[in-house]
């Protein structure tokens, strides 16, 4: 689909992913909680006062699927994924 609403939505999604990536990069190597990412970026809102922090959580999962971020399984905090580059 290439309709204007679709293009706007894809641009917004890319902007959110970039904002979270840059926030994690600024704080690297420290890990950040999902709730703190939401608060720092002003995207921790929920509907009807419930379900806070779904937006950053979904974006973090997308970035994880892309291999860019990872969650510490013991403390549930997020950080940039360490990427090793092999020397030839």
Q: What is the 3-state secondary structure (H, E, C) of 17-70?
A: HHHHHHHHHHHCCCCECHHHHHHHHCCCCCECCECCCHHHHHHHHHHHHCCCEE
The H or E element that residue 75 is part of is none
Domain positions in the chain are 4-80
In this structure, the chain runs to a length of 88
4-80 architecture in CATH? Orthogonal Bundle (1.10)
Residue 51: the pLDDT is 67
What is the C-alpha to C-alpha distance for residues 35 and 54, in angstroms, rounded to an integer?
A: 9
Residue 53 pLDDT class (50, 70, 90 cuts): confident
Whether omega for the bond prior to residue 29 falls within 30 degrees of 0, making it cis, is yes
Residue 50: the pLDDT is 66
For the segment 47-76, the average pLDDT, to the nearest whole number, is 88
């Amino acid at each position: 689909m290439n309709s204007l609403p679709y293009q706007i939505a894809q641009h917004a999604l890319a902007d959110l992913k970039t904002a979270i990536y840059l926030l994690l990069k600024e704080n690297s190597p420290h890990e950040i909680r999902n709730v703190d990412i939401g608060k720092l970026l002003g995207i921790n809102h929920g509907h009807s006062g419930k379900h806070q922090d779904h937006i950053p959580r979904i974006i973090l999962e997308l970035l994880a699927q892309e291999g860019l971020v990872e969650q510490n399984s013991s403390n549930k905090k997020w950080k940039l994924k360490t990427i090793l580059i092999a020397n030839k």
